Amino acid sequence: MSAGAGTTVNGIAVGAELPTYTLGVVEPQSMRLWAGFLRDPNPIHLDPQAVRAKGLGDRVINQGPANLAYVITMLQRAFPGSSLDWLEVRYAGSVFGGDAVEAGGRVGNVAAEESSTKVTCEVWLRANARDIVISGTAVLSLPPADEPTFT
């Protein structure tokens, strides 16, 4: 069973806003850790002088996958116990060291299937309450026992 705007399936309302997830400060130290996770020594993530030399600003630039990870974390918090089935995103901008970021989303569709509930969400990440730096769509599976309520 699938739902249109304004309807609710298994306690999840189509059109409901997901609880936002905010990280008050993106720390340069976190970028150093991510450089290790990604085995990516690009100095624009580590050295403000390298950023200046490339004319990209004067603060280190967060790794794109780290920005995407904030969005996924928002989904995990919104739907505890869910699994991510599918995700497609566009990277539209940069997050700099010291920025605050906010991830959020909205339920676009809910479909009750035999063994799970499939939830499709539009998702986004905003830097400093300003620019959208990531936008996209995610599909999650929720086991019946773990369905949250967004109405």
Partner 1 sequence: MNSPDLPPPPNVSGISLSGTTPYVITANENRELCATLGAPVAANGTAHPIYFFIATQVGMGKSVAGLCAACDFDVEDGPMIASSKVTFSHALMTEQSYWITGEIRGLTRKRSRTLGVMDLLEYVLRLALPDGTPVLETTNVWVLPRRNLA
Q: Of 2, 86, 129, 131, which one interacts with partner 1 (CB under 8 A)?
A: 86
Say if CB 69 and CB 91 are below 8 A apart. no
Q: How many residues bind partner 1 (CB under 8 A)?
A: 30
> Is residue 149 part of the contact set for partner 1 (CB under 8 A)?
no
Q: Of 66, 110, 125, 142, which one interacts with partner 1 (CB under 8 A)?
A: 66
Rounded CA-CA distance 71/122 in Å is: 11
Say if CB 133 and CB 125 are below 8 A apart. yes
Q: Of 14, 18, 78, 89, which one interacts with partner 1 (CB under 8 A)?
A: 89
Residue among 147, 93, 92 at smallest CA distance from 116:
147
> What Å distances lie between residue 20 and 32, 33, 39, 66, 124, CA to CA?
26, 24, 30, 17, 10
Task: Candidates 12-20, 76-84, 112-120, 142-150: pick the segment binding partner 1 (CB under 8 A).
Answer: 76-84
Is the CB of 5 or the CB of 25 nearer to partner 1?
25
Rounded CA-CA distance 68/66 in Å is: 5
Q: Of 33, 49, 113, 132, which one interacts with partner 1 (CB under 8 A)?
A: 33
Task: Candidates 9-17, 87-95, 109-117, 123-131: pick the segment binding partner 1 (CB under 8 A).
Answer: 87-95
> Is residue 111 part of the contact set for partner 1 (CB under 8 A)?
no
Q: Of 70, 79, 96, 150, which one interacts with partner 1 (CB under 8 A)?
A: 70
Q: Is the dihedral of CA 26, 27, 28, 30 positive or negative?
A: negative
